[in-house]
């Protein structure tokens, strides 16, 4: 089992910024097998702004047969008006959501890679339960 992270970069467009794209790092770590991480460049350039959400959400949001986005929390994923894009909506704790558009083929390729690395229903096999318990108990395990 390879424990190395799967990393890629997507070029995304933001709904509220016309004619400007941004590069976003997309990271999957088998040690955290249920999550996908989007790393946005910080406006100050010091550190990335990271959004984490369920990998299943990305997979389900890519489904061609879904007319509506999926997700009930801070992140939703679904079809965009243009068929070759998906829309990812981030709901920060402010009144306005941030809508971004990623290429469907890039997202599909990434999802295929992460599910080849850690197949569905095998996520628990990648978690170091001893380390988790030690962390939860504050080193007293």
pLDDT (0 to 100) of residue 122: 66
pLDDT score, position 17: 73
DSSP SS3 for 58:
helix
Contact in structure between 55 and 36 (CB atoms under 8 Å): yes
How would CATH label the architecture of 6-136? Roll (2.30)
pLDDT for residue 93 = 77
What separation in angstroms does the CA of 89 have from each of 3, 121, 125?
29, 26, 31
Strand ordering across the sheet containing 98-103: 49-54, 35-40, 21-28, 6-14, 98-103, 85-90, 75-79
Q: Which tens digit of pLDDT belongs to each residue from 40-82?
A: 887 777 767 889 999 999 999 998 677 788 888 889 899 888 8
Domain range summary for the chain, segments of one domain joined by +: 6-136
**Any residues with CB less than 8 A from the CB of 2 and at least 6 apart, and which?**
30, 117
CA distance 100 to 29: 23
Q: What per-residue confidence (pLDDT) applies to 139?
A: 66
Nearest of 29, 34, 32, 12 to residue 21 by alpha carbon: 12
Q: Are 21 and 106 in contact (CB under 8 A)?
A: no
């Amino acid at each position: 089992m390879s424990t190395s992270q799967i990393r890629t970069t997507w070029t995304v467009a933001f709904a509220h910024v016309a004619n400007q794209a941004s590069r976003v790092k997309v990271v999957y770590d088998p040690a955290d097998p249920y999550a996908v991480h989007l790393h946005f460049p910080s406006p100050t350039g010091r550190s990335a702004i990271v959004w984490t959400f369920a990998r299943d959400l990305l997979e389900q949001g890519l489904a061609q047969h879904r007319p509506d986005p999926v997700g009930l929390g801070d992140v939703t994923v679904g079809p965009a008006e243009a068929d070759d894009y998906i829309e990812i909506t981030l709901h920060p704790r402010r009144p306005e959501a941030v809508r971004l558009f990623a290429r469907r083929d890039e997202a599909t390729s990434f999802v295929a890679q992460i599910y080849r690395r850690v197949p569905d229903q095998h996520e628990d096999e990648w978690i170091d339960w001893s380390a988790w318990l030690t962390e939860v108990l504050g080193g007293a395990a």
